[in-house]
Structure 1
Amino acid sequence: MAVRAGWSRGLIELRQSFTNGGDVLSHLLWPVLMLTVLFFLRDTAFGTSGLLLGTLALPSILGMNAAMGMVSMSQALTAEREDGTLLRAKATPNGMPGYLIGKVVSVAGGLLADLAILLIPGIFVVGGLAIGGPGSWATLTWVLLLGMVATLPIGAVLGSVFTSARSQGLIQLPVLGMIAISGIFYPITAMPDWLQWVAQAFPIYWLGLGMRSALLPDGAAAIEIAASWRHWETAGVLGAWAVLGLLVAPVVLRRMARRESGSSVAARRERALRRVG
C-alpha cells in the first residue's frame, strides 16, 4: 500500500515539475551552463595525453549531477518539513513510508531527466567518447543506480537534520568543495596526494570515475589513479555509502517525524514571517 501510494505520489510530483515554468527552468539551467563550459573546453588538450578536457569533463559532470541528487533530496525534505507537508503525511496511514518513497521517485526521476538533457546534446558537443558498445551503457547503468542509492539516503539524513531552508547553504558549500577536489573539471592526478585521498573518501569522485569508465576509451584510464578504472573499488566505496545511508536514514527520519507537531510547524512559520517582515 505504501509503495503504491509513494510511487503514485512520486510520479505526480515528477509530472508537475515538467509542467511548472520555474521547475522546467531549473531542469534546463544547469545542463545548459555545463554544455556551455564543455563547448569552450572541447578543443583544449590535457597535457600530452592526447585527450581533450571537454571529453574528460562530460562523464565527470554527469557523475557530479548524480551526486547532487542528495542536495535536491535534502532541500525538498527541509522545505516540506517547514511548510507542514511532512506533518500532513505523518497524519495519514502509511504516510511517512509513502511520502519518502514518493520523494525518492520524484528526485530520482528528475535526476535521470537532467542527465539525459545533458548527455544527449553533450555527445554532439564533444568528441572522443566510447559509447558504441553495450558494455558502456551497462557500466553507466550500474554506476548510476548504485550512485543514487549511495547519495539519496544521505540527502534524506541531511534534510532531517537541518530544520530551515536557509540552512541549506551549510550543505551546498561543503558539496561544492568536494566537487572542486574530485576531478570533475580537471583530472585528480594533477592535484596534491593528500587532496586525492580526501576526494576518494566521498562518493562524488567515484561517481565521476565510474561515468568516465563507461563513456571514455580504455586508453583514458592512463591519467587516472593507478592508471585504472578501478571498478571493484568504485562498487565497494559506493556500496559502503549506500549501506551506511540505508542504515542511518530510517532511524534519523523516524526520530525527526516523532518531533513534528502542529506547534513546531507554526513556530517555524512565525520565524519565517518575522524574517520577511
Structure 2
Amino acid sequence: MNALAMGWERTLLELKMYSREKEAVFFNFLFPILLLVMFSTIFGGQFSAADKAAGMNAGRLFLPGLIAAGVMLTSFQTMAMSVTVERDDGTLKRLRGTPMPPVAYFLGKVGLVLATSVAQLIALLLVARFLYDVQLPTDAGRWLTLAWVFFLGSFGGTVLGIAYSSLGTARSIGAVVIAPALVLQFISGVYFAFKDIPSWLQQVAAIFPLKWVAQGMRSVFYPYALASQEMAHAWEPGRTAIVLGLWAIGGLLLCAKTFSWYKRGTT
C-alpha cells in the first residue's frame, strides 16, 4: 500500500477510536452545538422586532464565534491531547517500529480533523438555519471566505496542537490545553460581542489565531454594517489571511522541530 492509501486507512481507524472516546466527542464535537442551542434559546427574547426584521437574532450573533471555537476544539485541542496520550502510552513508539510510513500517521490525524470539523460545521449551520432561522450567506464570495478561513484555522490548529503536545504528559495535558483554550475563547469574541471586550484584551486576543478565525466567520455571517464594530472598523480579510497563514506556517515548522515519537526520557 502506498502512503496515501495507508493514510486513508489510518483516517478510518482514527475516526473509530475518536468515536469511542465519549468525553472527546462531547467536549470537542458536540459542545459548540449545544452552546448554540443554549445561547439561542436563552438570549432569543432579547432581540427586538427591528433586529429580527434586519435579520439579526441570537443564533446569528453566536454562530460565528462558536464555529471558530469548534475549529479550535476539533483541531488544536483534539491533537494536543490525543498525540500526548499516544506518545505516553507507547502507541507512537510501536507505530514507529512498523512498516507504516510516518506520513501515513500524520495523514490520519489530518483526516480525523477534517472529517470531524466539517461534520461539526454542517451540524452548526443546520441547527442555526432550521431551528433558529439564521440567515445564511447567499453570495459565493462569503462562502469562499468561509472555506479559506475554515481551512487555515483547521490546518493551523492541527499542526499547533501536535507541537503543543510536547509540553505536557498524559496526566497533565488536560489542564495544559483546556485552561488557555478557555481563556482565548472568552477574549476572542466567542461568548461575548468582541466590541464589548476591553481594548487591552482585544489586543492580547489579536496575537492568537482564534480571534482572526472568529472575525473571519463574522464577516461571513454578519451584516456588512457590523464591520464598523471591529477593532479596525473593517473585516480585514487580507490581514486575517496573513495572520492565519503565518500561524499555520509557524505551527508546521514548530511541529516538525519538536515532534517526537518517544516519551520524554525514553528512546
| TM-score interval for Structure 1 and Structure 2 normalised by the shorter chain | 0.7 to 0.9
Runs of 5+ in structure 2 lacking a partner? Answer: none
Q: Tell me what 1:268 maps to.
A: none
Question: Is the aligned partner of 1:42 residue 2:44?
Answer: yes
Matches within 5 A, 1:10-159: 10-15=11-16, 17-18=18-19, 20=20, 22=22, 26=26, 27-45=29-47, 51-68=56-73, 69-127=75-133, 129-159=135-165
Question: Is the aligned partner of 1:230 residue 2:209?
Answer: no
Q: CA-to-partner distance for each residue in 1:168-200, whole Å, 9 max, x for gaps? A: 212210110011011112222222211111011
Whole-Å separation in 2 of the counterparts to 1:79 and 1:24: 13
Assess if the C-alpha contact under 8 Å between 2:11 and 2:112 holds in 1. Answer: yes
One-letter code aligned to 2:205? A
Q: Tell me what 1:272 maps to.
A: none
Q: Tell me what 2:8 maps to.
A: 7
One-letter code aligned to 1:3? L
Q: Tell me what 1:243 maps to.
A: 249
**For structure 1, which segment, 9-18 or 100-109, has the greater mean C-alpha deviation from structure 2 after superposition?**
9-18
SS in 2 for 1:227: coil
Aligned residues: 259
Q: Which runs of 4+ in 1 moved over 6 A?
A: none
Q: Tell me what 1:198 maps to.
A: 204
Runs of 5+ in structure 1 lacking a partner? Answer: 266-277
Shift of 1:128: 5.1
Distance 1:226 1:125, change over 3 A: farther
Distance 1:109 1:60, change over 3 A: same
The TM-score with structure 1 as length reference comes to 0.83
CA RMSD of aligned residues (A): 2.6
Distance 1:128 1:25, change over 3 A: closer
Assess if the C-alpha contact under 8 Å between 1:221 and 1:229 holds in 2. Answer: yes
Shift of 1:107: 2.4
Question: Is the aligned partner of 1:208 residue 2:209?
Answer: no
Whole-Å separation in 2 of the counterparts to 1:15 and 1:204: 28
**For structure 1, which segment, 145-154 or 53-62, has the greater mean C-alpha deviation from structure 2 after superposition?**
53-62
The TM-score with structure 2 as length reference comes to 0.86
Shift of 1:129: 2.8
One-letter code aligned to 1:71? Q
Distance 1:129 1:219, change over 3 A: farther
**For structure 1, which segment, 198-207 or 6-15, has the greater mean C-alpha deviation from structure 2 after superposition?**
6-15
SS in 1 for 2:107: helix
Percent identity over the alignment? 30
